[in-house]
A = this chain, B = another copy of it.
Amino acid sequence: MATNKLLLVLCLSLLASEAIGRQGQTQLGQAQQCRIQRLTASQPARQIESEGGVTELWDENEAQFQCAGVAPIRNILRPNSLSLPNFHPAPRLVYIERGQGLLGVSFPGCAETFQSSGRKGRHQQQEQEEQEQGRSSRRDQHQKIRRIRKGDVVALPPGVAHWCFNDGSEELVAVSITDLNHQANQLDQKLRAYYLAGGLPREGRHSQQGQDTFQNVLRGFDEELMAEAFNVPVEIVRRMKGEDGRGLIVNAQGMSMIRPDEREEEREYEGEPRSNGLEETWCTMRLHQNIDERTKADVYSKGAGQLNIVNQHKLPILRFMDMSAEKGKLFSEALYTPHWLINSHGIVYVTRGEAQVQIVDHSGQSIMNDRVKQGSMFVVPQYYAASMKAGRDGIEWLTFRTTGSPMRSPVAGYTSIFRAMPLQIITNSYQIAPSQAQDLKFNRGREGFFAAPRRSS
């Protein structure tokens, strides 16, 4: 615990030089307003049932999400299900809450560097077909496939198509935030997703959220033109455009052969990334980083809790996405002391347990003082003061942040603003005795912003 502060100092300093200097990555659009009277943890407002799973959408028009400029989604893929290829105009940061799967991201112009390792399941009929067409000897080649699993933070850059397949034995649950405010999005601040297959069945109701968002974009093209573009018969094009009613997530077969190179090690990034002008930079960029490993905590307070941070230094693509994530854990009745987030909003998703959360706005009004539970989500607006007291069983949460290099300013503890101030400033500010100011400044000792519960004495 004694090295806590040093770590923090180093960590924050590394972040800081870019943090405040962040270059205009956020836009205050028409819809964005942060005049929040009352914050409440919220649940998904809508479910889209598909053949192979469920897509749960929070209401992006809720004041708190409008303020942060984000749209939260939770995808649940059943085993052997495939989330159909799609892309979105704004960057999306995903946290794998449960399960595991395979992720494919189609970077335009990158080489197909992966060979599927065999075709055992397709021996009979297909191979015969292929031989008829003289293709049998060709192994399938495609871009890199990535293994993602519980605890991973996954970065999906704007505009690149991706698919995800649950090859595990339990549900794959992925919670995500799409940063609609990000400069990469030159369209308006509305959740949009472009599906290349599948899509929602049209039910004639256009007013409902998502009704015009999760649609097959190939549907709009002329059949003849598509057939010519791909040089395939029109029947195939009809299948591509067809609304088969399976939705956004489908049951998949014959996928057992696809495997990423499981020997691939996730290494922590060392040093500063630089564009080297070669395709490696982009095509092989690491897209995910585990945030759950206890041994890799960035902040650890004995008896209080811990915090793991995945920022642009650990996962360099986050520099481009200008997002990051923090996984927090508070032990039973421990306290996340009052603090404010300096250079971004925080969007908190509770993954386990309960806590009492207090958030205060700039005018000193308490806008939230609620018990939050597993599965709920709420926004901590930038610069608003927030605190959290864990329940009996502690709490774990994931905070998405709308910056690649998150900073916070704690009010109490070892790295607090009061530690930074001379005693006389404190005594004069509050008209208290010097000894009281000393208490305020030092009573937390070497504890950071996580405080162990007070012993009742």
Contacts and interface: CB of A to CB of B under 8 A. Distances in A.
Given A85-B417, A220-B365, A429-B85, A109 B16 contact: yes
A439 B413 CA distance: 64
A14 B417 CA distance: 37
Given A192-B383, A362-B192, A440-B230, A108 B23 contact: no
22 contacts: A9-B279, A10-B279, A12-B108, A12-B109, A13-B110, A16-B281, A16-B282, A17-B281, A20-B158, A24-B183, A82-B429, A129-B435, A160-B409, A186-B345, A194-B383, A197-B430, A212-B362, A212-B363, A217-B362, A229-B335, A250-B429, A253-B428
A188 interface: yes
Interface string A197-240: 11100000000000011011111111001101111110010011
A-B pairs, top 8 by smallest CB distance, nearest first, are A24-B24, A12-B109, A220-B360, A21-B320, A106-B420, A197-B429, A17-B275, A13-B279
A257 B222 CA distance: 57
A213 B362 CA distance: 7
A425 B85 contact: yes
A126 B275 contact: no
Contacts of A114: 422
Given A20-B158, A140-B422, A358 B222 contact: yes
A348 interface: no
A194 B362 contact: yes
Contacts of A233: 439
A28 B110 contact: no
Contacts of A240: 430, 440
A29 B30 CA distance: 7
Interface string A381-409: 11101010100000000000010000111
B142 A187 contact: no
Contacts of A143: 420-421
A126 B433 contact: yes
A290 to B, nearest CB: 23
Interface string A330-362: 000001011010111100000000000010111
A263 interface: no
Contacts of A454: 228, 231
A34 to B, nearest CB: 4
Given A24-B25, A129-B435, A158-B342, 16 more contacts: A9-B283, A20-B320, A23-B23, A30-B30, A84-B429, A85-B425, A104-B421, A194-B340, A197-B429, A213-B363, A215-B363, A218-B385, A220-B367, A222-B358, A236-B432, A255-B428
